[in-house]
Amino acid sequence: MHKVERLSEEQARPILPKLVALLQDSVHSGSSVGFLPPLTFEAAKAYWLETLNEVAQGKRILLVSSEAGDVTGAVQLALVTKQNGLHRAEVQKLLVHTSFRNRGIARALMGAVEESARAVGRTLLVLDTEQGSIAEKLYEKCGYTRAGIIPQYARSADYSLISTVLFYKLL
Ligand SMILES: CC(C)(COP(=O)(O)OP(=O)(O)OC[C@H]1O[C@@H](n2cnc3c(N)ncnc32)[C@H](O)[C@@H]1OP(=O)(O)O)[C@@H](O)C(=O)NCCC(=O)NCCS
């Protein structure tokens, strides 16, 4: 059965290799999620260890979807810690493994991330994504409002510069 769970740092540590594999899968299939291929196991592990550190400090929420022991996807909520932004959070690293795509898992993760945001009193969500990506359409379908486009924002796998679309949602 498929499930989405909020994981503590202790709960996430044992599945670290699976989280590494999830990130490598997305990067190696050409997604713009902060890294360029090839993404080594060590670099991906270092990223997740930093992420889990922030989860342990209460600065970040990690949601993981799984099915029969396989990690199928994940999403994070970075909780703004500035005094004047405690109502705000950024949705980051929505990832669904290529073997499990187009089955509604991203939708389920986005629903769960909203629920988690509400539960911790965050009423404004922001995010950005590559212009023209599947995720851009997905966020619109999830009720996010397009705030604007920044050109030449990030480098893609083929080293060209791509634009990013900024979105927000008031809960
Ligand atoms: C974007 C991503 C998270 C979508 O995950 P997913 O689990 O396949 O998405 P879902 O199955 O929940 O589908 C969500 C919607 O997108 C649409 N969609 C999904 N894959 C699609 C595709 N290849 N082409 C067109 N539409 C697609 C679905 O039709 C669905 O719309 P619906 O709910 O109206 O039917 C996934 O492709 C991914 O991990 N991509 C790489 C990482 C990435 O780019 N993340 C975003 C970073 S900001």
Taking the CA of residue 141 as reference, the ligand 1 atom at the shortest distance is 34
Fold of 2-122: Aminopeptidase (3.40.630)
pLDDT digits (tens, 9 = 90+) for 14-59: 999 999 999 999 999 999 999 999 999 999 999 999 999 999 999 9
Domain boundaries, the chain: 2-122
| Residue 88 β-bridge partners | 124
Query: Is the CB–ligand 1 distance for residue 89 below 6 Å?
Result: no
Paired tokens of 46: 């270092």
What is the tens place of the pLDDT at every residue in 64-105?
A: 999 999 999 999 999 999 999 999 999 999 999 999 999 999
- Residue 165, classified by CB atoms within 10 Å of its CB into exposed (0-12), middle (13-18) or buried (19+), is buried
**pLDDT at residue 1 tops 90:** no
- Report the separation in Å between the CA atom of 95 and the middle of ligand 1, taken as the mean of its atom positions: 9
What residues are paired with 26 via a beta bridge? Answer: none
Protein residue with its CA nearest to atom 1 in ligand 1: 135
* Structure tokens given for 152: 């030449």
pTM for the model: 0.97
**Residue 92 CA: which ligand 1 atom is closest?**
48
